[in-house]
Structure 1
């Protein structure tokens, strides 16, 4: 199988003529709107873009005789470069591409914004890439439609808790949350706190939280207290939310964090407040970042196989059939904080 093998049961590609007919405008008007060229009335632009999104139309930037050539480009969309998790995924992607015949990655950042991801993917597909690698399963309806109608391989990375458009490579975050709960209950912790970031914008963190609560429910327990930042995860947010939780009226003996960034912030707060870890309160993270391993008390956490996710995503797009899910697994790191 090659990277450009057409997926089974693909529909025919939507043409600019079909978009123009549906929107009741000329083909040149559609072209100008998509290229952002020349003055166009706002209501006309809005009407055409609604049709574009509804039909999953993608313009073809490779004209004439070049249109039949296979591109060696692999579009990669990740939500952030500031989070060390994703540079490790990119390292794995690079390692996978080294084994191919001159394939190159084109990397874009979505900032966890499904509308921005939609625009990025529309632009990538216009250049007929060999494949598109995205992060997770949360896409706009228009993005999903474009990817389903395209003839490129699609790999959704980091998560396997849903059915993929084509291929999914990652871990079960619900299972990771469940494993966290079981592990901590078995170690004797009973009064659970939770510190996290905005779960509305992070499906994978939300799945881990649901898995954690499921494990606690089986043990006759639940989250006793929680503090959730309205912003993205960071060390600073973890420090602030830990202070808020521990200053509350509900005592806890262990705090589970949405990720290691937040957990490291929690450790910093406890150190500055003279709170013993794990004597007064235990701390447990997620991701297995190097900063956690290097702390005086190594952070107790779950290690995700991020490099393997990226490398396997490339290998899978070259060899695996549509509908494949590949579980790259996770491991509990005992550490010294829980």
Structure 2
């Protein structure tokens, strides 16, 4: 007696052609959406595909052309709105052109990013979108030999592998530091997450301290934690910072999540904002507008960055030459917390 675990043979393109009464080449043309196929023939092939449950082997086709309709997109996080907005901008553009984004999440871990790159290379994506300009040496080596467009996003402080679309995180930090100095703040603190992982936040802090130094000031105190940023971490971080340094008159946060958490602490602890303490964040998230006092922050053009990254890849694939470096800048928002 035969065991029931024997596998059913895979449905092939030839099976579809046989059922539809056409050649294998005609089936291939229908599946690739060629225009030189009659509607009657197209309907017969599609009916055969549906009847047999045939799934085209896209990877096999890619091996013959060294290309796929896939674009690799690697981001550090999906836990807040920042990178989902980048993805939305990129994906809408790619889908309209017949490409599909394949997404990897590195959790701000460059070693994990390297492993994702190595795994995705096997699928031969036609392009790559990655967050940031910093990668491991092996990741850099792999990306430099992929022979497909690479766009690094959300930063312009450094040399790109191929193309970059973003803004200067260092200058964003400088602008916030200069703003707080111009408004008369003199005892300034900082609250942030893991700066060893979030390298763009580290650049903003560096720019912030540079601006303070140019105004004869220095960072009086800081709180950083070896964990991802969050509302709760921002709230706890500011509470600890003020407990140790109650005379601070301004605090810069690594992002809006942390800053809104800090604002919640102030509301609960009776710390007057901005009279007693000024608060500033980064990213321009909607939550910063929804809180009782609108947050002072910098809004980054996340959707547009994703859109342009995809457009750059599509332009390169079409044989055009998009800009190698594009700095979109950002919007400084003066809210009610400074």
TM-score bin, normalised by smaller chain: 0.7 to 0.9
Q: Is residue 80 of structure 1 aligned with residue 81 of structure 2?
A: no
- Mean CA deviation greater in 64-73 or 77-86: 64-73
Match of 1:134 in 2: 130
2:244 is paired with a residue of what secondary structure?
A: coil
1:333 match: 333
- What is residue 101 of structure 2 aligned with on the other side? 105
Counterpart residue number, 2:234: 238
Cα deviation, residue 95, structure 1: 2.4
Q: Which residue of 2 aligns with 1:269?
A: 265
Distance 1:163 1:123 in 2: 25
User: Distance between the aligned counterparts of 2:247 and 2:289, measured in 1?
Assistant: 27
Q: 1:255-310, CA deviations, whole angstroms, 9 ceiling, x for partnerless residues?
A: 11000011011001111101111111011000000011111111111111110110
Unaligned runs of at least 5 residues, structure 2: 1-57
Using CA pairs below 8 Å that are at least 6 residues apart, which structure has the higher relative contact order?
1
Larger Rg: 2
1:256 paired to 2:233 = no
Contact kept? 1:243, 1:269, Cα under 8 Å:
yes
Aligned to 1:266, what secondary structure does the other structure show?
A: helix
Q: CA offset at residue 96 of structure 1?
A: 1.8
The CA distance in 2 between the partners of 1:297 and 1:65, in whole Å, is: 53
In 1: Cα distance, 2:222 partner to 2:63 partner: 57
For residue 315 of structure 1, what is the aligned residue in structure 2? Answer: 311
Matched, 1:143 2:139: yes
1:226 is paired with a residue of what secondary structure?
strand
- Of residues 208, 211, 215, the one that matches 2:207 is 211
CA contact (8 A) 1:166 1:323 kept: no
Q: CA deviation at 1:249?
A: 3.8
Please provide the CA RMSD for this pair: 1.7
TM-score (norm 2): 0.78
Tell me what 2:324 maps to.
324
Asked whether the 8 Å contact 2:188–2:220 carries over to 1, the reply is yes
Runs of 5+ unmatched residues, structure 1? 1-60
Q: Which residue of 2 aligns with 1:57?
A: none
Q: What secondary structure, in the 3-state scheme, does the structure 1 residue paired with 2:331 have?
A: strand
Q: CA deviation at 1:226?
A: 1.2
Q: Deviations over 1:62-89 (max 9, x none)?
A: 5588432531100111111112111111
**Count of aligned positions:** 277
After TM superposition, which residue ranges in structure 1, 4 or more long, deviate above 6 angstroms?
none
Within a 5 Å distance, the mapping from 1:170-189 to structure 2 comes to 170-189=166-185
User: Is the 1:167–1:317 contact (alpha carbons within 8 Å) kept by the matching residues of 2?
Assistant: no
Mapped to 1, the partners of 2:236 and 2:131 lie a distance apart of: 28
User: What does the per-residue CA deviation read over 1:210-243, in whole Å, with 9 as the maximum and x for residues that have no partner?
Assistant: 1001111111111111111221111111011100
Which residue matches 1:199? 195
SS of 1:244 mapped into structure 2 = helix
Q: Could you say which residue in structure 1 is the equivalent of 2:25?
A: none
| Match for residue 114 of structure 2 among 118, 123, 145 | 118
Distance 2:119 2:63 in 1: 18
Superimposed CA distance per residue, residues 54-113 of structure 1 (whole angstroms, 9 cap, x where no aligned partner)? xxxxxxx9558843253110011111111211111111112222442x111111111112
Secondary structure class of the residue paired with 1:132? strand
Residue 159 of structure 1 corresponds to: 155
